Amino acid sequence: MVTEQVFGDVRPEDDYTHPLGPEENFNESMYFNFFDNRLRRGGFLRIGNRANEGYAEVTLSLFEPDGSVLFNYKRPEIANNEALDAGGMRFETLEPLVRHRTTYDGSAVFLARPEEMSDPGKAFRENPHKKVQIDLTHEGVAPVFGSRGSDAPHENEAEGFGRAHYEQHMRVTGSLTIDGETSEIDGYGLRDHSWGPRYWQNILSYRWLNCSFGPALNIMVSEINRTKTDRTEWGVVIRDGVVSRITGVSIETQFDADEPFHRAMRADVTLEDGEKVVVEGKVVGFIPLRNRRQGHVTHIGEAMTEYTCLGHTGLGISEYLDQIQ
């Protein structure tokens, strides 16, 4: 049972788009992930509006039980920030801070060997494409947590990574259709919403671990290194709707020997009351993504991850960002 709807200063009107800021790199994005533990399938959808630059970032990633991944990334043109609706993907707020709908009608490249996405152009050319249709409803199983930040323009847009950000764990139901074959989804996941100036190159690294085990337990663990000396550790453990802040994070990760691809992790977290909690994860599906700006390459590893925590086991996502020098 959720004991409070919001943990922070987020308002119902924040669940819609915001006035477009003056920064060239103003970005408003929503992200939704979902995982069906019975089907061993999941994925995420993201739209990031960059209206001042004239386009949206549209990302779809679907993890299959055998380790294959269906993926697409588009940059369709947009002229304003009035909706999150581009490239065949659409997000609707049905009830603010409670219920959302995500849909997609388009294609995705099928990757039997997802590591091939290290070279996106070649991966898209040399692998088959499949028709994908998604219609999902996301309903909160835990409070919203995060902050709406300041309405003032960022003093240095070149250093921005979003001024506002909040997240919420969700129950997810609906349908996923691939090449005409439909699966009914009944699982859990997490959504987030951010707005403000953003370049992916403006932080050194981050680790983002999250899983909804259902109404009884939800976790999010975050470790952000903005510079070599500016480090942020935060997150939440939510039990039966009661939020406990994470005040300390220590993550040990197993990587591939010759690539920055993460395969397993253990997070030792400290809660605000001093309680120690262990989160362990094993990667069961992985795709390496990248973002490039002015010749600088940012690696973003996305992984469907089987987590164990406080006696619960379930699928979630682990996302690792690193700047490639």
Contact in structure between 240 and 216 (CB atoms under 8 Å): yes
User: What is the structure's pLDDT at 150?
Assistant: 55
Q: What is the pLDDT of residue 158?
A: 53
List Cβ neighbours of 58 (8 Å cut-off, separation of 6 or more).
Answer: 46, 47, 48, 72, 73, 74, 75, 76, 86, 87, 88, 89
pLDDT score for 199: 77
pLDDT at site 3: 47
pLDDT of residue 87: 98
β pairing state of 205-212 and 312-324 = antiparallel
The string of pLDDT tens digits covering residues 241-288 is 999 999 999 999 999 999 999 999 999 999 999 999 999 999 999 999
For the chain, the helix, strand and coil percentages under 3-state DSSP, each to the nearest 5:
10, 65, 30
pLDDT reported for residue 10: 95
pLDDT value at residue 4: 61
If we measure between CA atoms, which residue out of 306, 305, 307 comes closest to residue 278? Answer: 307
**pLDDT value at residue 104:** 99
Residue pair 269/235 in contact (Cβ under 8 Å)? The answer is yes
For residue range 113-154, list pLDDT tens digits in order. Answer: 999 999 999 999 999 999 999 999 999 999 999 998 755 554
What pLDDT shows up at residue 5? 75
| Tokens 């970005």 sit on residue | 27
One digit per residue, the tens of pLDDT, for the chain of length 325 reads 444 677 789 999 999 999 999 999 999 999 999 999 999 999 999 999 999 999 999 999 999 999 999 999 999 999 999 999 999 999 999 999 999 999 999 999 999 999 999 999 999 999 999 999 999 999 999 999 999 875 555 455 455 556 799 999 999 999 999 999 999 999 999 999 999 998 777 788 999 999 999 999 999 999 999 888 889 999 999 999 999 999 999 999 999 999 999 999 999 999 999 999 999 999 999 999 998 877 788 999 999 999 999 999 999 999 999 998 6
Residue 300 to residues 41, 121, 198, 270: CA-CA distances in angstroms? 20, 17, 15, 26
Dist. CA 313–CA 325, nearest whole Å? 36
> Domains of the chain (ranges plus CATH)?
6-324 (2.40.370.10)
Nearest 5°: CA angle at 281, between 36 and 69?
50
Which DSSP state fits 275? Answer: -
In this predicted structure, what is the pLDDT of residue 201?
78
- Dihedral pair phi/psi, residue 20, rounded to 5°: -65, 125
